[in-house]
Amino acid sequence: MIDFIILEQMTAFAVIMQKHPGWVGLLQSTILESMGCIWFNRTEVKDREIVAKKLRDHVQGADNNPLLIFPEGTCVNNHYTVMFKKGAFELGCTVCPIAIKYNKIFVDAFWNSRKQSFTMHLLQLMTSWAVVCDVWYLEPQLLRPGETPIEFAERVRDIISVRAGLKKVPWDGYLKYSRPSPKHRERKQQSFAESVLQRLEEK
């Protein structure tokens, strides 16, 4: 959400965002609603189709505010770029990548939603000396002939990663909300043990 607050100072963006309860939800249903923002609920399966239609309708409207989408779909720790969702890249419109890199000199702007409420996170930021970050508005990009939305998303992720000096990682940001199954961990451990034995035999 801090990214949105920072970028909103430049121009009036409409944003796609998870529907929240409490005072954040009140802001969404009053002030932000007037800007053409789009809300969704991750727990509602039908929301995906509804939101996809709202996105297409929004980008086709000539008088609508530019649509701000965070394709990671979740907060990341400002060191990596996780895999992008392809939905933002199959709308048939121009994509203007924005790279943001926070400086931790005064405060860490990363919100770990598993450990801290947004209210406490916001209070921490507001009582720090300053929130410092660099913002780069990058060259607009279009889907190339023969390019799939997934390839388009990866190309844009490359551009953002290079400009902000972030490391690309081949996993989804939602991994922080779940733990690998015991069978998966067991297979990984077995695979690691086999690779170690193989290296020892080669030596």
The Cα–Cα gap between 110 and 121 comes to: 9
Local confidence band at 63 (pLDDT 50, 70, 90 cut-offs):
confident
* Sequence-separated (6 or more) residues with CB below 8 Å from residue 131: 2, 6, 102, 106, 107, 109, 125
User: Is 129 inside a domain boundary?
Assistant: no
DSSP tag of 175: G
Is the model's pLDDT at 36 over the cut of 80? no
Whether 125 maps to a domain, the answer reads no
| Per-residue pLDDT tens digits for 87-136 | 889 998 999 999 999 888 888 888 777 788 888 888 888 899 998 889 99
Mean pLDDT of all residues belonging to the chain:
81
The band of 153, judged by pLDDT with boundaries at 50, 70 and 90, is very high
Predicted pLDDT at 98: 94
Q: How confident is the model at residue 182 (pLDDT cuts 50, 70, 90)?
A: low
- Would you say residue 66 lies in a domain? yes
63: in domain: yes
- In a 3-state reduction of DSSP, which class is residue 15? strand
Residue 170 inside a domain? The answer is: yes
Tell me what the mean pLDDT of segment 158-163 comes to: 95
Q: Rounded to whole angstroms, how far apart are CA atoms 191 and 140?
A: 43
Report percent pLDDT > 70 for the chain. 80
pLDDT at 162: 94
Question: Is 169 inside any structural domain?
Answer: yes
**What band does 191 get if pLDDT is binned at 50, 70 and 90?**
low
Residue 82, domain extent:
1-101+134-202
pTM, full prediction: 0.73
Confidence at 4, pLDDT banded by 50, 70, 90: confident
Answer whether residue 181 is part of any domain: yes
Q: Which of 75, 84, 72 is nearest to 112 (CA)?
A: 75
Counted domains in the chain: 1
184/168: higher pLDDT:
168
Domain assignment of residue 172, yes or no: yes
